[in-house]
Amino acid sequence: MDTGSRSFKEPLYSALGIGIFTFFYGLISGSLQFWMAPVAFITSAFYAGMNDSKGKSINVSLSFGMGIIWGLIAYRLFQIPNMNMLWWTSSVFGVMAFIAIVLQGSILKFTMIPAWLLAWGTFMEITLNITIKDWPLFVLQLATTMLFGIYFLDFGSDYFKSIMYRLFPSHSKDSQLDHQPSRDH
């Protein structure tokens, strides 16, 4: 197979994999009534695009968990009455971001700050704009949609792509080496 054929297969297989797994994710999230289903697209794009995350899905997942915990803490702090909200929220965000980075650099080295902050920001964006009536369900749905992004959308489309390369292998040895999945899972 020549380079032109290889360069055509990569985007075709990626597009097919992403399209197929997005379709099935739509069915799953619609059936389960995940109103925050788009979060999975954010986490999938994050995982696929962040070079440091490749092969570290557990670390990214745990970092998402820390972001959700950080969101719960920040949200609770924002409920303190009689505070100047501009100064208070800015202070909470600044101090908590500082603490997160210190924790990640010392005792929580297994976490990844970009994933932690992405989850925290996603949590805050949702909770500061709508009223949450069932907090345990909200946290469960948010964590689930974040994990669906990595383990269903991203891993699924990579798996599909690897199957396609096995079904339609290249003819040269150099091209076959290029057809390995893009991440260690």
As a whole number, mean pLDDT of residues 72-80 equals 93
Give φ, ψ of 125 to 5 degrees: -60, -45
The pLDDT, as a whole number, for residue 87 is 92
Structural domain that includes position 52 = 8-167
Q: Which tokens go with 119?
A: 């989850």
In a domain, 177, yes or no: no
Q: Is residue 179 part of a domain?
A: no
Q: Which residue blocks in 55-134 are alpha helix, DSSP H? A: 57-77, 85-105, 113-127
Residue 185 lies in a domain: no
Domain count, the chain: 1
Tell me how far apart the alpha carbons of residues 184 and 82 are, in angstroms, rounded to a whole number: 50
Within-domain flag for 178: no
Q: What is the per-residue pLDDT across 96-143, written as a single tens digit (0 to 9) for each?
A: 999 999 999 999 999 999 999 999 999 999 998 999 999 999 999 999
Residue 184 covered by a domain = no
**Residue 182 covered by a domain:** no
**pLDDT value of position 99:** 97
